[in-house]
Amino acid sequence: MIDTRRLRTLRAVADHGTVTAAAAALHLTPSAVSQQLVALEHEVGHRLFTRDGRGVHLTAVGKIMLGHANEVLAQLERAKAEVAAYATGEAGEVTVACFATAIGAVLSPAIAALRATSPGLHVRVLDAEGDHSLAMLLDGEADLAVTVEYRGAPDAADRRLSRLPLYAEPFDLVLPHDHPLASEATLTSLASETWIGPYPGNPVHDVITFACQQAGFTPNLAHCSDDFRAVVALVGAGAGVALVPRLALRDMALTGVAVRRTPGPERRVFAAVRRGSDAHPLLRPLLSALRTIGRSLDAG
């Protein structure tokens, strides 16, 4: 019989690419992870991984087993959801990994709404950028992730996840208030400017870079911050120009800057849970509240 704990180990190693990283995610020692893999290979009767330097790669049989592992683990999530539903599941804690703008835009309003409809539901919030929250979800550190489409993200067909689209958010140009193009700037007209934006690795960095490349230039990102308040403050100081998600600007003091709405990029925000757990009675009301808030943002 194949131990499901070893299937989780298999998936963690496949997700993280190294035994050490998988061990950290699973809160095990690297030797314990290696032992789990050896035991699983013995149970299956085939090698599942090959080593390449520090990394490991799935063999053909390993890929087959990973596919089945995803199905088995999803079914276990469904079982947990049904058991919880049977036991009413009216009270408990849900951990949500969510990036800062969405905490303010959708998660906080959803939590406020749930106080009246689901008073026994406690939501624990972890501030995490979009490219980190899905890893936290898959590693079991979070029950739900609110994240964005980004290069390298699991797609809608990923069998590990169930996704719920929430809203699409446009980006606005932010310029110093005395900039010559403050009232008529377009993305193309700012090709030669100094740019301010998030660090590489942040999903917003990819959106901005791709949008500029589509406009015919590569932005000179001279100043980097993942905090949009800091980005806008630098623009106000005359350090450069920026593309900033519109909702990040909503409650911000826009001192010394001009905001220009132009056709351009947008980021698509979605909620994700581990596949099979979307029927969990603690997740259902939260997902419903997030969907309702997200629709209002799209409509606005």
C-alpha span between 196 and 230 (Å, rounded): 10
In this prediction the pTM is 0.72
**Residue ranges in the chain assigned as alpha helix (H):** 4-16, 19-26, 30-44, 60-86, 100-102, 108-117, 130-138, 203-214, 228-236, 246-249, 283-299
Amino acid at position 84, single letter: A
Residue of 198, 211, 200 lying closest to 171 (CA atoms): 211
The token duo for 209 is 């870079």
CA torsion, points 249, 258, 199, 234, in degrees to nearest 10?
Answer: -110
The answer to whether residues 96 and 145 touch, using CB atoms and an 8 Å cutoff, is yes
Q: For residue range 227-275, list pLDDT tens digits in order.
A: 999 999 999 999 999 999 999 998 888 989 999 998 878 889 999 999 9
Q: For residue range 41-71, list pLDDT tens digits in order.
A: 999 899 998 888 778 889 999 999 999 999 9
The token duo for 78 is 């469904």
SS3 51: strand
Q: What share of the chain is helix, strand, coil (3-state, %, to 5)?
A: 45, 25, 30
Chain CA centroid to CA 247, Å: 17
